[in-house]
Amino acid sequence: MTGKGEEAPRDFSPSSPNTNTSGTVIVSGTTSGFEGPHFVETQSLTITYNRVPFGRLVSGDVTLSSASATFSHYSTIVVATVEAAYVARKDFGTYETSTFSTPQKFEVLAASSDVNGNSYGETTASTMGPMGTIVTSQQFYRRVPFVGAASGQAEVTKNIVGRTFYGIRKVGGSTSATVDVNSLFYDNEAFFITPGLRGSFGTEFGPRPVIEGVSYLYGIPGQYATNKESIFAVTNFITQIGNRVRSSDLYENPATENPGGFPFGLADVGFSEYDPARHDYS
């Protein structure tokens, strides 16, 4: 999964330079081959992620001359910005094969430390580390004969940028408004204890992140260390993100406000054409 895969077949046209490899356009002047139109689908995904902590105030000791507090980490999760694309189009090239496909593969570009320079152990092929980016190293590609839009072969282009959490701030009484989350993405204090709870570092009238129950992704109990990660958990995380794209379960930035007021933000970013079944983690 972490190594770069072979490049997917390029978008050849009849006037493009010809190559004679399987799945690509045939050598000029050859009489055999499968002429277009073909129906071509491609799919890609990029995930920019950061691991954030959750905790609680264990005890506090305040006197007339001093004050101290003890906090405990009870878990960490991953928050992410997600970019996804899907393109379906007609192709009029001539190819050696009538059909051709390659799965979607990924590469994890893990940082060795967080934004503050703190390291949590060695990053390996089985870890995401405290932050980083997951990129599509080989996009999904599928080419079949074009038989018409009536059979579901409609040309379409979909691109989205969504997030796994959103931000709000209280504007008075019980009214809250969604806000930009860029300043919160790497802010551990904002995530650590929800404003309003004992020991919180924030205020409900300032911007704060909101993570709904289904958005707790890649949770690890207790304090974080890279040796608590596994390749199974990493690939499962990527699959979950793909499912969120497919079910439009990501957030705009700022999130679309819910007229009902709770939850405050609506998850409405994604498109049904994305399919995690096209992922290959080998």
Write out pLDDT tens, residues 165-175.
999 999 887 78
Give the per-residue pLDDT at 2.
52
For 23-27, 73-77, 249-253, which range has the lowest pLDDT when averaged over its residues? 23-27
Scored b (16 or more CB within 10 A) or e, 126-155 reads bbbbbbbbbbbbbbbbbbeebeeeeeebee
For the cut 90, the answer to whether the pLDDT of residue 23 exceeds it is no
Give the per-residue pLDDT at 19.
35
Share of the chain above pLDDT 90, in %: 77
Give the per-residue pLDDT at 199.
92
Rounded to an integer, the average pLDDT of 84-92 is 97
Among the listed residues 275, 254, 281, the one whose alpha carbon sits nearest the alpha carbon of residue 266: 254
Give the per-residue pLDDT at 204.
86
Give the per-residue pLDDT at 4.
39
For 2-6, 26-30, 47-51, which range has the lowest pLDDT when averaged over its residues? 2-6
Contacts 24+ apart (CB under 8 A), 28-33: 33/94, 33/95, 33/96
Give the per-residue pLDDT at 26.
54
Confidence band for 151, pLDDT divided at 50, 70 and 90: confident
Rounded to an integer, the average pLDDT of 95-123 is 97
pTM: 0.88
Give the mean pLDDT of the chain.
89
Give the per-residue pLDDT at 183.
95
Share of the chain above pLDDT 70, in %: 89
Q: Cα–Cα distances in Å, from 102 out to 70, 190, 195, 233?
A: 53, 42, 47, 24
Confidence band for 234, pLDDT divided at 50, 70 and 90: very high
